[in-house]
Structure 1
Amino acid sequence: MKIFDSLPADFNSKTVVTIGTFDGVHIGHKKIIERLVNTAKKSGLQSVVLTFFPHPRMVLQNDANIKLINTIEERSLILKQLGLDVLIIKKFTKDFSRLTAEEFVSEILVKQLHAKKIIIGYDHHFGRNRSANIEDLKAFGIQYDFDVEEISAQDINEVSVSSTKIRNALVEGDVKTANKYLGNYFMLTGKVVKGKSLGNTIGFPTANLNIKETYKLIPKLGAYIVKTIYKNQTVYGMMNIGTNPTIKSNNQQSIEVHFFNFNESIYNKTLTIELLDRIRDEQKFDSIEDLKIQLQKDKTTSLNYINKHHA
């Protein structure tokens, strides 16, 4: 898959295009991408996803509080696995939002992407103030010689419902439901940074994960069963999202992962952690010894789960 972080100036292939933010690429989105890829192959065209970053709400509504299921890098990784030919990540700006519907169609879809077919939702709106709809797009298709395939209300509802359910599930710590709708494991990607090494003193050394993207949705505080791929090997562990109330009292949130049977130095490495299941809420214990006892129970719970589901 080729990835462009702007509209390519020298793109010559004729294409089938779909357009959207595709946050939390999930089972509803995957159905659309599958249709796109299959259509392109049958027609001898290139399959193209045109997506936008930052999220339009961040730009137009100055909504700094919006939380996305995937970072843009995670989104790219998942789309690559779906057999897509080209991913274009268009920087969304206020100037771009002011393009008229016809300017968007003629300048971007036709002149730059050479679209011969657009696969899009029945409720899609585009152009300045989102003033144009799918009927307008079909009329432009006749004018500029491309077909429009309409995604049904049922399929679009599945997409919107899935996104809402995924966000709600993650906020509640229900990663099983989130993973079901994603069709893969929810992931957190970040760099391992030095912590206070308190885990070493109690026999549970942890990797402290720093996620630079402030827009990334972080699930409910608590303990989770996780895995990562490191040097082409699957490594399992348990992760705590929380403030470590037993050890410190500054309420600063951290994401710490204890890997099982793992001794490598991974400081400054970027890891993608996949969340398999949730163990419990975060707790404050009366003593460090009580915390150690609970962590050992969490480890046993995690290993039992891994042996049952991932052996």
Structure 2
Amino acid sequence: MNVYHGVEKFQFNSKNILTIGTFDGVHLGHRFLLNRVNALSKKNNGVSTVVTFDPHPQLVVAHENRGPIKLLSMLDEKIELLSRFGIENLYIIPFDVQFANLSPNEFIQYYLKKSIGLLGVVVGHDHGFGNARKGNITTLFDAFAKNSVWVEQLGQYTHDDNLISSSVIRKLLLDGKVVHANEMLGYPYSVKKQVVLGNKRGRQLGFPTANLDIANSDKLIPGSGVYAIKCNLQGKAHIGMANIGTRPTFGDHETSLEVHILDFDGDIYGKDLGVQFIIKIRNQIKFENPTDLVAQLEKDKIKVRTILS
């Protein structure tokens, strides 16, 4: 996949058949669009293309009644996913306040017509673009009415009669409903972070953990609880359990992500660890003492082996 990051690096191509969006998570709804773009590109000797933005617009422009957004996919993850699903050209537009203030027609003229080029454009059922998302399918039809560019809008995509969106998936993950979230994503949700030194309390309890650095990150961390997880170390697949929370048994207040990898005791400090969340097995519990905690961890380990082995 060709990746063009920044307008000065864009390569104009009149054969681009493109779709536009943030594509956070590249979920099944997004892939409904991508599949159509791929099919049209193949049929018309075009080039399957995505136009996206970095950083995510909601990290730049405040929205009423919305708190700070956390992302399902960081830029490197989004690039990997789009490449995996067959996209040939990816144009990444730096999103800032100046860009946010462009009118829909300014975006079409400068970016789509002049800088990127296109043979066709496919958008989702609720697509909006330009300042305050004032641009819509009618804007696109009007802009390309005199050009040999076709415009297509797809219908609403649902999974098991449920509407799929990045915001719905974020809420599911924050509620610990990773199984449902993974179904909508079409793959296991994952977090990849550097392993940092912790207080080594897990090792003292007989359950050494890899502490992932989740501070000051825009990546969404699932809700508190204990999860069955999968990970890969040095090319070998492992299973384990992850605890997300404040470690109430020990009076801690800062949220942490700790991973106990079953049948592994290597030194991975300073290395990046990718963790796939498979299912939440229980809520966070405050135990009366460390002995009770260890007894529960033993039960958790058995449950994880049963689920993932």
- Per the normalisation by structure 2, the TM-score is 0.91
Alignment CA distance shift 1:57-1:162 (3 Å): closer
Alignment CA distance shift 1:38-1:224 (3 Å): same
Q: Give the 5 Å matches for 1:251-270.
A: 251-270=253-272
Match of 1:277 in 2: 279
Q: Compute the displacement of 1:119 (Å).
A: 0.5
Q: Compute the displacement of 1:51 (Å).
A: 1.2
Q: How many percent identity over aligned positions? A: 36
2:268 partner letter: I
CA distance in 2, matches of 1:213, 1:79: 26
**Bigger shift: residues 113-122 or 160-169:** 160-169
Alignment CA distance shift 1:77-1:246 (3 Å): same
Match of 1:292 in 2: 294
Query: Counterpart of 1:142 in 2: which secondary structure?
Result: coil
Q: Give the 5 Å matches for 1:232-243.
A: 232-243=235-246
1:80 partner letter: S
CA distance in 1, matches of 2:129, 2:113: 15
Alignment CA distance shift 1:193-1:211 (3 Å): same
Q: Compute the displacement of 1:31 (Å).
A: 1.3
Query: Counterpart of 2:187 in 1: which secondary structure?
Result: coil
Q: Which runs of 5+ in 2 are unaligned?
A: none
Q: Compute the displacement of 1:297 (Å).
A: 0.6
CA distance in 1, matches of 2:256, 2:92: 30
CA contact (8 A) 1:65 1:215 kept: no
Match of 1:112 in 2: 115
CA distance in 2, matches of 1:276, 1:220: 13
- Per the normalisation by structure 1, the TM-score is 0.91
Query: Counterpart of 1:135 in 2: which secondary structure?
Result: helix
Q: Compute the displacement of 1:3 (Å).
A: 2.3
Match of 1:37 in 2: 38
CA contact (8 A) 1:194 1:267 kept: yes
Structure 1 position 147 matched with structure 2 position 160? no
CA contact (8 A) 1:209 1:255 kept: yes
Structure 1 position 3 matched with structure 2 position 6? no
1:178 partner letter: A
Query: Counterpart of 1:119 in 2: which secondary structure?
Result: strand
Match of 2:168 in 1: 165
2:108 partner letter: V
Structure 1 position 231 matched with structure 2 position 234? yes
Match of 1:89 in 2: 92
Match of 1:53 in 2: 54
Q: Which runs of 5+ in 1 are unaligned?
A: none
Q: Which stretches of structure 1, 4 residues or longer, exceed 6 Å deviation after superposition? A: 156-159
Number of positions where the alignment pairs a residue of Structure 1 with one of Structure 2: 305
CA contact (8 A) 1:191 1:271 kept: yes
Q: Compute the displacement of 1:211 (Å).
A: 2.7
**Bigger shift: residues 284-293 or 6-15:** 6-15
Q: Compute the displacement of 1:64 (Å).
A: 6.1
State the superposition RMSD in angstroms: 2.1
Match of 1:211 in 2: 214
CA distance in 2, matches of 1:159, 1:130: 24
Q: Give the 5 Å matches for 1:193-204.
A: 193-204=196-207
CA contact (8 A) 1:68 1:217 kept: yes
CA contact (8 A) 2:196 2:270 kept: yes
Q: Compute the displacement of 1:212 (Å).
A: 5.2
Q: Compute the displacement of 1:20 (Å).
A: 0.7
Query: Counterpart of 1:185 in 2: which secondary structure?
Result: coil
Match of 1:23 in 2: 24
